[in-house]
């Protein structure tokens, strides 16, 4: 990584990136996908994993609290136990949908925990910066919001490296906490499955398989103050 030239005051130029660099950033954003089943078994190089973690650690955080930690899970036995916890919760989740949606839900392949060679569990420690944190004084959720920024940084860096990422959220907190020895005060934010992939869906998998379509951006934009707009997804509009 090229170091930017610093001024005497520790500042660097805020000039825009060149055209190719800008396009690469937007390409990573728009082609990032949540990978569920397409992982290859090849191990990820330690230097590559380090780059991804450094990208995550470079995320913005309110009050510079940096509340995140990363648990690297490679052991197949541990991942098998995590998959069993997920499977139990997944059956409970399927029962919440009506018959048509349930069939589609059950058709989705959610095998990332066992297939991906690496899992990274991202946690948030609310005590990392002490009891009073600049910027969190009136919104206690800012530590979790900051941690999610680290997840997104890692995800975009992984896309640039040709690494697929899948976010597993269907599990009982207590099961993962017990499995990995995570203290009660530390919040589990994300179980991420990582591995090389040969292909990615051209659009989000859930959109391609008819679960839900992307909302129209214009329906989500308000000028100056809140406007209660009817939000219609593409399938409801017939798109």
Assess if residue 51 is contained within a domain: yes
Residue 157, classed as helix, strand or coil, is helix
pLDDT in tens, 85-131: 999 999 999 999 998 899 898 888 777 999 999 999 999 999 999 99
Residue 65 is part of which domain span? 33-202
Does residue 238 sit within a domain? no
Please give the backbone phi and psi of residue 62, each rounded to the nearest 5 degrees, phi first: -60, 130
Q: Is residue 172 in some structural domain? A: yes
Is there a domain that residue 225 lies in? no
Q: How far is CA 212 from CA 207, 235, 236, in A?
A: 5, 7, 10
Tell me if 220 is assigned to some domain.
no
The domain total for the chain is 1
Q: What was the pLDDT predicted at 3?
A: 59
Does 161 fall in a domain?
yes
Q: Kind and range of the H or E element at 85?
A: helix 76-94
- Residues of the chain with pLDDT > 70, as a percent, come to 95
93 lies in a domain? yes
70 vs 88: CA distance, rounded Å? 24
Give the pLDDT of residue 232: 64
* Percentage above 90 pLDDT, the chain: 85
For residue 164 the two structure tokens come to 């697929």
Q: Which residue has the higher pLDDT, 9 or 95?
A: 95
Q: Is residue 28 part of a domain?
A: no
| Beta pairing class for 163-168 and 187-196 | antiparallel
CATH number of the domain residue 121 falls in: 3.40.109.10
Cα separation, 194 vs 211, in Å, equals 23
H helix or E strand, kind and range, residue 190: strand 187-196
């Amino acid at each position: 990584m090229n170091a930017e030239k610093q001024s005497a005051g520790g500042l660097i130029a805020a000039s825009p990136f060149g055209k190719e660099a800008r396009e690469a950033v937007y390409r990573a954003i728009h082609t990032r996908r949540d990978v569920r089943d397409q992982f290859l078994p090849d191990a990820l190089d330690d230097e590559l994993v380090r780059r991804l973690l450094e990208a995550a650690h470079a995320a913005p955080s309110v009050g510079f609290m940096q509340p995140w930690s990363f648990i690297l899970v490679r052991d197949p036995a541990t991942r098998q136990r995590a998959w069993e916890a997920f499977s139990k919760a997944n059956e409970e989740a399927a029962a919440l949908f009506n018959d048509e949606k349930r069939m589609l839900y059950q058709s989705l392949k959610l095998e990332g925990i066992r297939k991906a060679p690496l899992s990274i569990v991202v946690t948030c420690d609310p005590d990392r910066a002490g009891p009073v944190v600049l910027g969190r004084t009136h919104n206690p959720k800012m530590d979790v919001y900051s941690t999610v920024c680290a997840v997104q940084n890692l995800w975009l860096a992984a896309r640039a490296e040709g690494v697929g990422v899948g976010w597993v959220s269907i599990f009982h907190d207590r099961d993962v906490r017990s499995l990995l020895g995570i203290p009660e005060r530390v919040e589990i934010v994300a179980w991420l499955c990582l591995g090389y992939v040969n292909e990615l869906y051209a659009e989000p998998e859930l959109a391609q398989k008819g679960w839900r379509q992307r909302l129209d951006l214009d329906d989500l934009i308000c000028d100056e103050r809140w406007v209660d707009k009817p939000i219609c997804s593409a399938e409801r509009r017939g798109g």
